[in-house]
Amino acid sequence: MKNHRGNHGRQRGDLRIAPAGTAAQPARRGDPPCCDKVGEKTLYLETGQMAADVKKLADFWYPLEDIACRLASGSYPTDAMVIAPCSINTMSAISNGISSNLLVRAADVMLKEKRKLILLVRESPLHLGHLRNMTALAEMGAIIAPPIPGFYHQPQTVMDIVDHSIDRVLDLIGIPDAQVRRWEGAQK
């Protein structure tokens, strides 16, 4: 599996994690992130990085409006797609099959091809419409994985909390990190 870059350039095993607000498809051929305007703003507000900073780290970068690129085709083999964070707007568009940009179209392709699609939705609280969209996506095969931190590993820093969510996603896409501290049951 080809490496992806991002998230301040940190590397995790054989995968480089894509930054907040991007969609990275850990694929056999090493596909890149794409990012919408909300994702770019989130990236800047939460990390101080500009999209241009992240583009320098990526092997490839697709414009959001490029719905004719390989990521928009089911004939292009990919293993999984992660959208992190996933806005309610993006989640709702995916749920309703509104393929208005590359991010949503690539997610739609993942669903129609029965491939892993993982959405890190982090809105709260949720109303009934949000929950119905999540239910519809789960019924279509998507994995809804809110980045809710666990504290059993006794995180010491904010990055420890972030890493916990990343580690869960890596498990979901089949790239477990051997260094992850796993729950071993309550210590007596």
For the chain, 188 residues long, give each residue's pLDDT as a single digit of tens.
Answer: 333 323 333 333 333 344 333 444 333 334 446 777 787 888 888 888 888 887 777 777 888 899 898 989 999 988 899 998 899 999 999 999 999 999 999 999 999 999 999 999 989 999 999 999 999 999 999 999 999 988 888 899 999 998 999 999 999 999 888 888 888 888 77
pLDDT of 9 reads 34
The SS3 call for residue 116 is strand
pLDDT of 27 reads 35
DSSP string, 79-110: SEEEEEEE-HHHHHHHHTT---SHHHHHHHHH
Residue 181 to residues 87, 144, 154, 169, 184, Cα–Cα distance (Å): 29, 23, 10, 14, 9
Count how many Cα atoms sit within 13 Å of the Cα of residue 91 in the half-sphere of its side chain.
Answer: 27
pLDDT of 187 reads 78
The domains found in the chain, sorted by start residue, are 7-172 (3.40.50.1950)
- Nearest-CA neighbor of 96 among 63, 68, 130, 120? 130
pLDDT of 44 reads 87
Sequence-separated (6 or more) residues with CB below 8 Å from residue 158: none
pLDDT of 33 reads 64
Bridge partners, residue 118, by sequence = 82, 143
Q: Are 163 and 78 in contact (CB under 8 A)?
A: no
DSSP string, 132-165: HHHHHHHHHT-EE---PPP-TT---SHHHHHHHH
- Ramachandran region, residue 119 (left: φ > 0; alpha: ψ -120 to 50; beta: rest): beta
What is the rounded CA–CA span in Å between residue 179 and residue 173? 16
